[in-house]
Structure 1
Amino acid sequence: MAEEPVSSLSLFSDDLLYNLEFSDDVCTCKLPDGMSPKTPGEGLCMRALQFTDFSKGYSQLLAQLTRVGDLTQDKFEEQFRGIQASPNTHYITVIEDTTRGELVASASLIVERKFTHLAAMRGRIEDVIVADSCRGRQLGKLLLETLSLLAIKLECYKISLECVENNVPFYAKFGFKQEDSLFMVRRIFD
Protein backbone atom coordinates (compact mmCIF):
# COMPACT_ATOMS: atom_id res chain seq x y z
CA MET A 1 0.00 0.00 0.00
CA ALA A 2 1.36 3.43 -0.98
CA GLU A 3 2.19 5.89 1.79
CA GLU A 4 -0.19 8.83 2.13
CA PRO A 5 1.41 12.11 1.02
CA VAL A 6 2.33 14.34 3.96
CA SER A 7 0.23 17.20 2.60
CA SER A 8 -2.99 15.29 3.37
CA LEU A 9 -2.06 14.23 6.89
CA SER A 10 -3.63 15.43 10.12
CA LEU A 11 -1.84 15.70 13.44
CA PHE A 12 -4.08 12.96 14.85
CA SER A 13 -7.12 10.92 13.90
CA ASP A 14 -10.38 12.86 13.92
CA ASP A 15 -11.98 9.70 15.37
CA LEU A 16 -10.46 10.68 18.73
CA LEU A 17 -12.75 13.72 18.69
CA TYR A 18 -15.77 12.09 17.12
CA ASN A 19 -15.87 9.12 19.51
CA LEU A 20 -15.89 11.09 22.75
CA GLU A 21 -18.82 10.61 25.14
CA PHE A 22 -20.88 13.83 25.16
CA SER A 23 -23.55 13.10 27.73
CA ASP A 24 -24.93 15.23 30.56
CA ASP A 25 -23.22 13.08 33.20
CA VAL A 26 -19.71 13.65 31.76
CA CYS A 27 -19.95 17.16 30.31
CA THR A 28 -19.20 20.07 32.61
CA CYS A 29 -20.83 22.75 30.48
CA LYS A 30 -24.17 22.62 28.67
CA LEU A 31 -23.73 22.81 24.91
CA PRO A 32 -26.57 23.69 22.54
CA ASP A 33 -28.68 20.65 21.63
CA GLY A 34 -27.02 18.54 18.96
CA MET A 35 -23.67 20.37 19.12
CA SER A 36 -20.68 18.02 19.15
CA PRO A 37 -17.38 17.58 17.32
CA LYS A 38 -19.30 15.83 14.52
CA THR A 39 -21.87 18.62 14.35
CA PRO A 40 -20.30 21.95 15.41
CA GLY A 41 -22.78 24.06 13.46
CA GLU A 42 -24.02 24.71 9.96
CA GLY A 43 -21.17 25.00 7.48
CA LEU A 44 -18.59 24.09 10.12
CA CYS A 45 -16.24 21.13 10.49
CA MET A 46 -14.28 20.31 13.66
CA ARG A 47 -11.09 18.31 13.14
CA ALA A 48 -7.40 17.93 13.81
CA LEU A 49 -4.98 20.50 12.42
CA GLN A 50 -3.87 19.51 8.92
CA PHE A 51 -0.68 20.04 6.97
CA THR A 52 -2.56 22.26 4.51
CA ASP A 53 -4.10 24.57 7.15
CA PHE A 54 -1.56 27.33 6.70
CA SER A 55 -3.45 28.30 3.54
CA LYS A 56 -6.73 28.32 5.52
CA GLY A 57 -5.59 31.18 7.72
CA TYR A 58 -4.23 29.35 10.76
CA SER A 59 -1.62 32.00 11.57
CA GLN A 60 -4.14 34.83 11.07
CA LEU A 61 -6.50 33.09 13.50
CA LEU A 62 -3.74 32.72 16.12
CA ALA A 63 -2.81 36.38 15.61
CA GLN A 64 -6.21 37.30 17.12
CA LEU A 65 -4.91 35.69 20.34
CA THR A 66 -1.20 36.42 20.53
CA ARG A 67 1.89 37.49 18.63
CA VAL A 68 2.61 35.08 15.79
CA GLY A 69 5.28 36.97 13.88
CA ASP A 70 6.08 36.38 10.24
CA LEU A 71 5.14 32.71 10.11
CA THR A 72 5.86 31.45 6.60
CA GLN A 73 4.37 28.36 5.03
CA ASP A 74 7.80 26.68 5.13
CA LYS A 75 8.13 27.37 8.87
CA PHE A 76 4.56 26.14 9.47
CA GLU A 77 5.30 22.90 7.59
CA GLU A 78 8.58 22.42 9.46
CA GLN A 79 6.84 22.88 12.81
CA PHE A 80 3.97 20.59 11.75
CA ARG A 81 6.44 17.82 10.85
CA GLY A 82 8.26 18.36 14.17
CA ILE A 83 5.02 17.94 16.10
CA GLN A 84 4.15 14.85 14.05
CA ALA A 85 7.54 13.37 15.00
CA SER A 86 6.35 13.31 18.65
CA PRO A 87 3.02 11.49 18.32
CA ASN A 88 0.39 11.57 21.06
CA THR A 89 1.62 14.85 22.53
CA HIS A 90 -0.15 17.62 20.57
CA TYR A 91 -3.87 17.58 19.87
CA ILE A 92 -4.35 20.84 17.99
CA THR A 93 -8.02 21.02 17.11
CA VAL A 94 -9.57 23.46 14.66
CA ILE A 95 -12.99 24.42 13.42
CA GLU A 96 -13.21 25.26 9.73
CA ASP A 97 -15.88 27.28 8.02
CA THR A 98 -16.20 24.96 5.02
CA THR A 99 -18.20 27.47 2.99
CA ARG A 100 -15.29 29.95 3.11
CA GLY A 101 -12.46 27.43 3.43
CA GLU A 102 -10.99 29.20 6.45
CA LEU A 103 -10.29 28.31 10.06
CA VAL A 104 -12.48 30.12 12.57
CA ALA A 105 -11.53 28.51 15.90
CA SER A 106 -8.73 26.50 17.45
CA ALA A 107 -7.46 25.10 20.75
CA SER A 108 -4.62 22.81 21.71
CA LEU A 109 -4.29 19.99 24.22
CA ILE A 110 -0.65 19.32 24.99
CA VAL A 111 0.00 16.04 26.81
CA GLU A 112 3.20 15.42 28.72
CA ARG A 113 4.30 12.15 30.28
CA LYS A 114 5.24 12.35 33.97
CA PHE A 115 6.98 10.09 36.44
CA THR A 116 4.79 11.49 39.19
CA HIS A 117 1.27 10.25 39.94
CA LEU A 118 2.21 6.66 39.04
CA ALA A 119 3.76 7.69 35.72
CA ALA A 120 0.60 9.47 34.63
CA MET A 121 0.08 12.12 31.99
CA ARG A 122 -0.73 15.79 32.45
CA GLY A 123 -2.73 17.85 29.98
CA ARG A 124 -2.42 21.56 29.23
CA ILE A 125 -4.97 23.45 27.20
CA GLU A 126 -3.44 26.30 25.23
CA ASP A 127 -4.12 28.74 22.41
CA VAL A 128 -7.91 28.80 22.70
CA ILE A 129 -9.20 31.21 20.07
CA VAL A 130 -12.46 31.85 18.26
CA ALA A 131 -12.35 34.33 15.38
CA ASP A 132 -13.99 37.66 16.09
CA SER A 133 -16.48 36.93 13.31
CA CYS A 134 -17.67 33.71 15.00
CA ARG A 135 -17.86 34.65 18.67
CA GLY A 136 -21.16 33.92 20.38
CA ARG A 137 -21.72 30.66 18.48
CA GLN A 138 -20.57 28.48 21.43
CA LEU A 139 -17.45 27.30 19.56
CA GLY A 140 -15.16 28.07 22.51
CA LYS A 141 -17.37 25.94 24.75
CA LEU A 142 -17.29 23.11 22.23
CA LEU A 143 -13.50 23.23 21.95
CA LEU A 144 -13.00 23.33 25.73
CA GLU A 145 -15.46 20.53 26.41
CA THR A 146 -13.97 18.40 23.63
CA LEU A 147 -10.37 18.83 24.76
CA SER A 148 -11.30 18.27 28.41
CA LEU A 149 -13.05 15.02 27.51
CA LEU A 150 -10.12 14.01 25.32
CA ALA A 151 -7.72 14.59 28.24
CA ILE A 152 -9.90 12.36 30.41
CA LYS A 153 -9.96 9.68 27.70
CA LEU A 154 -6.16 9.89 27.47
CA GLU A 155 -6.03 9.37 31.25
CA CYS A 156 -4.46 12.68 32.18
CA TYR A 157 -4.38 13.07 35.96
CA LYS A 158 -4.94 16.81 35.63
CA ILE A 159 -5.63 19.46 33.03
CA SER A 160 -4.38 23.01 33.41
CA LEU A 161 -4.46 26.23 31.45
CA GLU A 162 -3.33 29.82 31.67
CA CYS A 163 -5.70 32.71 31.20
CA VAL A 164 -6.11 36.38 31.95
CA GLU A 165 -8.16 37.20 35.02
CA ASN A 166 -11.30 38.29 33.17
CA ASN A 167 -11.52 34.82 31.51
CA VAL A 168 -11.51 32.94 34.84
CA PRO A 169 -15.36 32.78 35.06
CA PHE A 170 -15.54 31.24 31.56
CA TYR A 171 -13.01 28.50 32.36
CA ALA A 172 -14.58 27.86 35.78
CA LYS A 173 -17.67 26.57 33.91
CA PHE A 174 -15.50 23.64 32.80
CA GLY A 175 -14.31 22.78 36.30
CA PHE A 176 -11.05 24.75 36.23
CA LYS A 177 -10.13 26.32 39.58
CA GLN A 178 -7.49 28.77 40.64
CA GLU A 179 -5.01 26.99 42.88
CA ASP A 180 -2.70 28.33 45.54
CA SER A 181 0.39 27.79 43.41
CA LEU A 182 2.09 30.83 41.99
CA PHE A 183 2.47 30.70 38.23
CA MET A 184 5.71 32.24 37.08
CA VAL A 185 7.17 32.74 33.64
CA ARG A 186 10.53 33.71 32.23
CA ARG A 187 10.17 35.09 28.72
CA ILE A 188 13.17 34.59 26.52
CA PHE A 189 11.66 36.72 23.75
CA ASP A 190 8.19 38.10 22.94
Structure 2
Amino acid sequence: MVATGSLSGPLFSPDLIGTDVVTSFPEGHTIRPLERGDYAKGFLDCLGVLSDVGDVSQDRFEERFDWMKTQGQGVHYHVVIEHENRVVGTGAIIVERKFIHNLGLIGHIEEIAISKDFQGKGLGLKLLASLSSIAKNVGCYKTTLGTSPANEPFYVKCGYSKSGNIMNQYFEEPKESYYRG
Protein backbone atom coordinates (compact mmCIF):
# COMPACT_ATOMS: atom_id res chain seq x y z
CA MET A 1 0.00 0.00 0.00
CA VAL A 2 1.26 3.47 -0.87
CA ALA A 3 1.44 5.96 1.99
CA THR A 4 -1.22 8.66 1.78
CA GLY A 5 1.37 11.45 2.05
CA SER A 6 2.94 10.46 -1.27
CA LEU A 7 -0.47 10.73 -2.96
CA SER A 8 -1.19 14.28 -1.84
CA GLY A 9 0.34 16.02 -4.88
CA PRO A 10 -1.13 16.48 -8.35
CA LEU A 11 -2.52 13.54 -10.33
CA PHE A 12 0.16 14.09 -13.00
CA SER A 13 2.98 16.50 -13.76
CA PRO A 14 1.69 20.05 -14.30
CA ASP A 15 4.41 20.41 -16.95
CA LEU A 16 2.16 18.48 -19.36
CA ILE A 17 -0.08 21.54 -19.58
CA GLY A 18 1.67 23.96 -21.94
CA THR A 19 2.89 27.24 -20.45
CA ASP A 20 1.07 29.17 -23.17
CA VAL A 21 -2.21 27.60 -22.03
CA VAL A 22 -1.53 28.11 -18.32
CA THR A 23 -0.75 31.81 -18.81
CA SER A 24 -3.84 32.35 -20.99
CA PHE A 25 -6.23 31.99 -18.05
CA PRO A 26 -7.70 35.15 -16.53
CA GLU A 27 -6.10 36.55 -13.40
CA GLY A 28 -7.23 34.62 -10.33
CA HIS A 29 -8.00 31.45 -12.32
CA THR A 30 -5.54 28.56 -12.27
CA ILE A 31 -5.57 25.48 -14.50
CA ARG A 32 -3.84 22.51 -12.90
CA PRO A 33 -3.99 18.75 -12.42
CA LEU A 34 -6.60 17.33 -10.06
CA GLU A 35 -5.35 16.94 -6.48
CA ARG A 36 -6.52 14.72 -3.65
CA GLY A 37 -7.66 17.79 -1.68
CA ASP A 38 -10.01 18.96 -4.44
CA TYR A 39 -12.91 17.10 -2.89
CA ALA A 40 -13.06 19.86 -0.25
CA LYS A 41 -12.84 22.53 -2.97
CA GLY A 42 -16.08 21.46 -4.63
CA PHE A 43 -14.77 19.20 -7.41
CA LEU A 44 -17.84 16.96 -7.32
CA ASP A 45 -20.19 19.97 -7.12
CA CYS A 46 -18.61 21.27 -10.31
CA LEU A 47 -19.05 17.88 -12.01
CA GLY A 48 -22.68 17.93 -10.88
CA VAL A 49 -23.32 20.66 -13.46
CA LEU A 50 -22.71 18.00 -16.12
CA SER A 51 -24.42 14.90 -14.76
CA ASP A 52 -25.48 13.04 -11.66
CA VAL A 53 -22.39 12.35 -9.55
CA GLY A 54 -24.04 10.15 -6.96
CA ASP A 55 -23.32 9.96 -3.26
CA VAL A 56 -19.52 9.99 -3.28
CA SER A 57 -17.91 10.33 0.15
CA GLN A 58 -14.49 11.88 0.62
CA ASP A 59 -13.07 8.42 1.37
CA ARG A 60 -14.42 7.03 -1.89
CA PHE A 61 -13.16 10.06 -3.84
CA GLU A 62 -9.69 9.65 -2.32
CA GLU A 63 -9.70 5.92 -3.05
CA ARG A 64 -10.46 6.61 -6.73
CA PHE A 65 -7.86 9.41 -6.89
CA ASP A 66 -5.22 7.14 -5.30
CA TRP A 67 -5.96 4.39 -7.83
CA MET A 68 -5.68 6.83 -10.75
CA LYS A 69 -2.40 8.18 -9.41
CA THR A 70 -0.83 4.77 -8.78
CA GLN A 71 -2.47 2.31 -11.20
CA GLY A 72 -3.77 4.68 -13.86
CA GLN A 73 -0.62 6.70 -14.55
CA GLY A 74 -0.29 7.58 -18.20
CA VAL A 75 -4.01 7.04 -18.75
CA HIS A 76 -5.97 9.45 -16.52
CA TYR A 77 -5.41 13.21 -16.82
CA HIS A 78 -8.03 15.21 -14.91
CA VAL A 79 -7.62 18.97 -14.73
CA VAL A 80 -9.40 21.62 -12.68
CA ILE A 81 -9.82 25.36 -12.93
CA GLU A 82 -9.47 26.84 -9.48
CA HIS A 83 -10.76 30.29 -8.51
CA GLU A 84 -10.57 31.62 -4.95
CA ASN A 85 -9.93 28.15 -3.49
CA ARG A 86 -12.92 26.64 -5.34
CA VAL A 87 -13.03 24.26 -8.31
CA VAL A 88 -15.06 26.08 -10.98
CA GLY A 89 -14.18 23.95 -14.00
CA THR A 90 -12.98 20.45 -14.77
CA GLY A 91 -12.29 18.11 -17.64
CA ALA A 92 -10.43 14.92 -18.33
CA ILE A 93 -8.52 13.17 -21.04
CA ILE A 94 -8.32 9.38 -20.95
CA VAL A 95 -5.50 8.01 -23.12
CA GLU A 96 -6.23 4.85 -25.08
CA ARG A 97 -3.34 2.77 -26.40
CA LYS A 98 -4.14 1.46 -29.90
CA PHE A 99 -2.68 -1.24 -32.13
CA ILE A 100 -3.57 0.76 -35.22
CA HIS A 101 -1.73 3.90 -36.37
CA ASN A 102 1.62 2.42 -35.44
CA LEU A 103 0.54 1.72 -31.84
CA GLY A 104 -0.89 5.24 -31.64
CA LEU A 105 -2.49 7.00 -28.71
CA ILE A 106 -5.95 8.59 -28.75
CA GLY A 107 -7.13 11.04 -26.11
CA HIS A 108 -10.78 10.69 -25.12
CA ILE A 109 -12.11 14.00 -23.77
CA GLU A 110 -14.54 13.44 -20.90
CA GLU A 111 -16.43 15.21 -18.11
CA ILE A 112 -16.18 18.81 -19.31
CA ALA A 113 -17.93 20.97 -16.72
CA ILE A 114 -17.88 24.66 -15.84
CA SER A 115 -19.78 25.92 -12.78
CA LYS A 116 -22.95 27.76 -13.79
CA ASP A 117 -21.76 31.14 -12.47
CA PHE A 118 -18.54 30.86 -14.52
CA GLN A 119 -20.07 29.83 -17.84
CA GLY A 120 -19.89 32.21 -20.79
CA LYS A 121 -16.48 33.60 -19.79
CA GLY A 122 -14.34 31.59 -22.21
CA LEU A 123 -13.15 29.12 -19.56
CA GLY A 124 -14.53 26.09 -21.42
CA LEU A 125 -12.50 26.99 -24.51
CA LYS A 126 -9.35 27.35 -22.39
CA LEU A 127 -10.14 24.10 -20.56
CA LEU A 128 -10.30 22.26 -23.91
CA ALA A 129 -7.01 23.91 -24.94
CA SER A 130 -5.38 22.57 -21.77
CA LEU A 131 -6.59 19.03 -22.52
CA SER A 132 -5.37 19.31 -26.12
CA SER A 133 -2.00 20.45 -24.80
CA ILE A 134 -1.78 17.40 -22.55
CA ALA A 135 -2.81 15.12 -25.44
CA LYS A 136 -0.08 16.51 -27.68
CA ASN A 137 2.54 16.35 -24.91
CA VAL A 138 1.85 12.67 -24.16
CA GLY A 139 1.93 11.76 -27.87
CA CYS A 140 -1.73 11.40 -28.89
CA TYR A 141 -2.35 11.61 -32.64
CA LYS A 142 -5.91 12.86 -32.04
CA THR A 143 -8.55 13.58 -29.43
CA THR A 144 -12.16 12.55 -29.63
CA LEU A 145 -15.29 13.28 -27.64
CA GLY A 146 -19.02 12.73 -27.57
CA THR A 147 -21.52 15.53 -27.06
CA SER A 148 -25.16 16.40 -27.39
CA PRO A 149 -26.35 18.15 -30.54
CA ALA A 150 -26.99 21.29 -28.47
CA ASN A 151 -23.30 21.49 -27.51
CA GLU A 152 -21.87 20.78 -30.98
CA PRO A 153 -21.37 24.48 -31.85
CA PHE A 154 -19.17 24.94 -28.77
CA TYR A 155 -16.91 22.05 -29.74
CA VAL A 156 -16.73 23.24 -33.36
CA LYS A 157 -15.49 26.57 -31.97
CA CYS A 158 -12.84 24.57 -30.08
CA GLY A 159 -11.56 22.97 -33.30
CA TYR A 160 -13.55 19.73 -33.35
CA SER A 161 -15.49 18.43 -36.35
CA LYS A 162 -18.33 15.95 -36.54
CA SER A 163 -17.05 12.51 -37.45
CA GLY A 164 -19.76 9.86 -37.29
CA ASN A 165 -22.11 8.81 -34.51
CA ILE A 166 -21.50 7.51 -31.04
CA MET A 167 -23.47 4.51 -29.85
CA ASN A 168 -23.90 3.51 -26.20
CA GLN A 169 -25.06 0.37 -24.45
CA TYR A 170 -26.16 0.89 -20.84
CA PHE A 171 -26.08 -1.79 -18.17
CA GLU A 172 -28.18 -0.15 -15.48
CA GLU A 173 -31.34 1.90 -15.44
CA PRO A 174 -30.88 5.64 -14.97
CA LYS A 175 -32.60 7.62 -12.22
CA GLU A 176 -33.91 9.93 -14.94
CA SER A 177 -33.43 9.90 -18.71
CA TYR A 178 -31.12 12.95 -18.40
CA TYR A 179 -28.57 10.90 -16.46
CA ARG A 180 -27.72 8.68 -19.42
CA GLY A 181 -24.38 10.53 -19.65
Aligned to 1:185: 168
Aligned to 1:25: none
Match of 1:113 among 97, 113, 117: 97
Q: How many residues align?
A: 170
The normalised TM-score by structure 1 is 0.83
Aligned-partner Cα distance in 1 for 2:171–2:14: 34
Aligned-partner Cα distance in 2 for 1:93–1:13: 11
Q: SS of the residue aligned with 1:107?
A: strand
Tell me how far 1:80 sits from its aligned partner.
0.5
Aligned-partner Cα distance in 1 for 2:117–2:74: 31
Q: How many percent identity over aligned positions?
A: 35
1:68 aligns with 2:49: no
Q: SS of the residue aligned with 2:17?
A: helix
- Is the 1:91–1:110 Cα contact (8 Å) retained in structure 2? yes
Aligned-partner Cα distance in 2 for 1:106–1:179: 24
Q: SS of the residue aligned with 1:150?
A: helix
Aligned-partner Cα distance in 1 for 2:82–2:143: 25
Larger relative helix fraction: 2
Structure 1 alignment gaps of length 5 or more = 23-35
Tell me how far 1:174 sits from its aligned partner.
2.5
Tell me how far 1:177 sits from its aligned partner.
1.4
Aligned-partner Cα distance in 2 for 1:175–1:128: 15
Residue deviations 1:133-188 (CA, integer Å, cap 9, x gap): 111221101011121122122221221101110111111122211123x3111112
Are residues 170 and 39 of structure 1, via their aligned partners in 2, closer, same or farther at CA, if it must alter by over 3 Å?
closer
Are residues 7 and 87 of structure 1, via their aligned partners in 2, closer, same or farther at CA, if it must alter by over 3 Å?
closer
Structure 2 alignment gaps of length 5 or more = 175-181
Residue deviations 1:52-103 (CA, integer Å, cap 9, x gap): 1100011111111101000100110110011112211111010111x2x110
The normalised TM-score by structure 2 is 0.87
Aligned to 2:76: 90
RMSD of the TM alignment (CA)?
1.7
Aligned-partner Cα distance in 1 for 2:7–2:107: 28
Aligned-partner Cα distance in 1 for 2:158–2:133: 10
Aligned residue identity for 2:17 = L
Are residues 117 and 18 of structure 1, via their aligned partners in 2, closer, same or farther at CA, if it must alter by over 3 Å?
closer
Aligned-partner Cα distance in 2 for 1:154–1:9: 20
- Is the 2:92–2:112 Cα contact (8 Å) retained in structure 1? yes
Aligned-partner Cα distance in 2 for 1:72–1:6: 21
